[in-house]
Amino acid sequence: MGNYSGQQKKDRFEDSLKGKDIPALTLDNKWYHLLGKVGFEDIRSGEKKLNDLLKRQGKINNETREIKKVKRRLMDEIVSLMDDQQGGSGEASTKIEENKRLLKECNDKLDAYEDEMIELPRMIDKVNKELLCITMEHCYETMQENTDDIDELEDWIRNVRIELKKNLIRKQEKEAKNHEIYKYMHDIFGADVVDLFDMRYNPADKHPRTAEELAAEKKDNEKKEG
C-alpha cells in the first residue's frame, strides 16, 4: 500500500469495499474461529452492534408477515359482514368500522417498517464492513508480529546450526585424536599396560584405583578362572 498512515490505509480499504456484497460476519462460524486465532476484544462492540441490527431486521420481517396475516383476516371479515351491514345490522357496521381502524393501524405499522427496512440493510452493510476492516487490521498486525518472531527464530536456528556444525567437527576431531593416541599407546606400551590403564581410568569409575589394587584384582580374577 506504500507509505500511508493507518487512517489512509483504512480509507483506501473501505473504498475498495464499495459496491461489494459482504455477508454478515457474525453469521459465519469461521469468523468466530478467526477471532480465537487472532485474539482481540475491542471488536466486541462492533459485533454487538451488527447482531442487534440483524435481530432488528429479523424481528421486522417476522412482524411484517404477521401483520399481513392480520390484514387479510380483517379484510375477509369486512367482506363477510358487508351483506349484514347492508341489511341494516348495526353490530355488523360497528365491527366493520373497528376492523377498518385496525387495518389503518396495520398499514401505519407496515409503512413505518417499510421505511426502516429501507435503512436497515444500509446500516447493516456499513457496520459489517467496518467490522471487516477492524478484523483485517488485527489479522495483519498479528501476522506481522508473528513474521517478526519467525525472522528472529530463523536467525537463532541458523546460528545454532552453524554452532552445531562447528561442535560436530570438533567432536569428530577429538574422537579421531583419541583413536590415534590409543593406537600409538598400544603399539608403544603393549596391550597389557594399556588394558591396565583402561581399567584404572574408566570414566564410569569415580574413584580411580591404584596400580597395586588393579594388580591384586587381576590376580584374583586369574585364580577364579584357574
Domain 6-158 -> CATH class: mainly alpha
Would you state the pLDDT for residue 61? 95
Q: Which of 34-38, 44-48, 218-222 has the lowest mean pLDDT?
A: 218-222
pLDDT for 9-25, tens place per residue?
Answer: 566 666 667 777 788 99
Would you state the pLDDT for residue 22? 84
Would you state the pLDDT for residue 4? 46
Cα–Cα dist 40/131, whole Å? 13
Return the C-alpha cell found at 23. Answer: 455477508
Taking the domains of the chain in order of start, what are their residue ranges? 6-158, 166-225
Count CA within 13 A, CB hemisphere, residue 174. 6
Cα–Cα dist 54/57, whole Å? 5
* CA proximity to 14, closest of 134, 96, 120: 134
Return the C-alpha cell found at 198. Answer: 583402561
Cα–Cα dist 172/181, whole Å? 14
Cα–Cα dist 226/220, whole Å? 10
The mean of the pLDDT values for the chain is 82
Would you state the pLDDT for residue 109? 94
pLDDT for 89-119, tens place per residue?
Answer: 678 788 888 989 999 999 999 999 998 999 9
* CA proximity to 98, closest of 80, 77, 122: 77
pLDDT for 199-212, tens place per residue?
Answer: 555 544 544 555 56
Q: Are 200 and 212 in contact (CB under 8 A)?
A: no
**DSSP type of residue 25:** G
Cα–Cα dist 175/171, whole Å? 6
pLDDT grade for 33, boundaries at 50, 70 and 90: confident
Would you state the pLDDT for residue 190? 82
Name every residue whose Cβ is closer than 8 Å to that of residue 89 and which is 6 or more positions away in sequence: 81
